[in-house]
Amino acid sequence: MTQTLSILFLALVLDRLVGDPDWLWRRVAHPVVLFGRAIGAMDRLFNGKRLSAQTRRFNGAAGIAVLLVASVFLGFVLHRLLAPLGLPGAAVEVVVVAVFLAQKSLHDHVRAVSAGLKEGGLEGGRQAVSMIVGRDPATLDEPAVCRAGIESLAENFSDGVVAPALWYALFGLPGLFAYKMLNTADSMIGHKNVKYLDFGWASARLDDLANWPAARLSILFIAAGAWLAKGRAAARAAIGTALRDAGLHRSPNSGWPEAAMAGAVGIGLAGPRIYGGARVDEPMMNAAGRTVATAADIDLSLRIFSAACAVLAAGVLLATIAAALF
């Protein structure tokens, strides 16, 4: 356990400093891309239009089960290959874990939304936010662009940082690989449309289950980050808003970090929005907060996010020391 936590701490630091270098992933395929190719092959082979809904649901469940077993096996084999190498093997594992974290890349993408608004106006903001959200950017005014960026930051803090860190801490590389396979599958085939309603059902439900603990843990880190970035009142507002409004979100998990960030920043998030031409009507979380979000709110959310990531790393370091002592 001590070695696992030590590797996780170093991976969090490495990811925060280096992130995902574009020059590297332009030359070789990112592991998540490889996971996506496997999921895409499963989709093409076993999600035929002529199949019955029952058959598609069975195929989707069996397919994701096979991919999860394969990812667990891959993680187990890789760890067994690295473990006998001592420090060099541990260093390689640090890099592998860092690859599956998203602190710097998430920060950079959301910071680009703020920069786009400041430098290119509404069109600059729309272009930047279209890289990280699924809603139609042409329907967004400036406050909606800001809300979209902040919502993406909060949601992905949970499933792109806290969740992979948690599953690695609990189960090592097998747990990390399985989580990322499942999370990638949910993003590709977990949609509630005609094509994937049945085929992606198992992936979507399993992803909800896998993200359940991280989503709730994330509000504590966001609250701690809010305390460091803005003060104790912001931390209380983060926790209080999450406990009150998380259930207003259509997702059983995304509402927790988004509501916490809404309370910390002092703005309303979620509410009605458009995905693929279809309007999604949801209540506003922290409806008593400001309705007009600005680029300054994005900047504040980024400071809270950075502080939350630092608290997470510090918590892992303290757990490492405790494990070594006791």
**pLDDT tens digits, residue range 64-109?**
999 999 999 999 999 999 999 999 999 999 999 999 999 999 999 9
Among 186, 256, 245, 201, which residue's Cα sits nearest to residue 223?
A: 256
Could you give the CA distance from residue 321 to residue 326 in angstroms, rounded to a whole number?
Answer: 9
pLDDT of residue 275: 60
pLDDT given for residue 274 in this prediction: 62
At 23 the pLDDT is 81
DSSP letter at 279 equals: E
Q: Which two tokens stand for residue 117?
A: 């608004």
Eight-class DSSP state of 159: I
The per-residue pLDDT for 2 is: 87
Instruction: Name the token pair of 100.
Output: 């599956």
Beta strands in 133-235 (DSSP E): none
Locate the DSSP E strands across the chain: 269-270, 273-275, 278-280, 284-285
| Residue 133: per-residue pLDDT | 84
What is the pLDDT, as a whole number, of residue 49? 87
pLDDT at 76: 97
Ranges of the chain whose pLDDT falls below 50: none
pLDDT value at position 28? Answer: 86
The whole model's pTM is what?
0.94
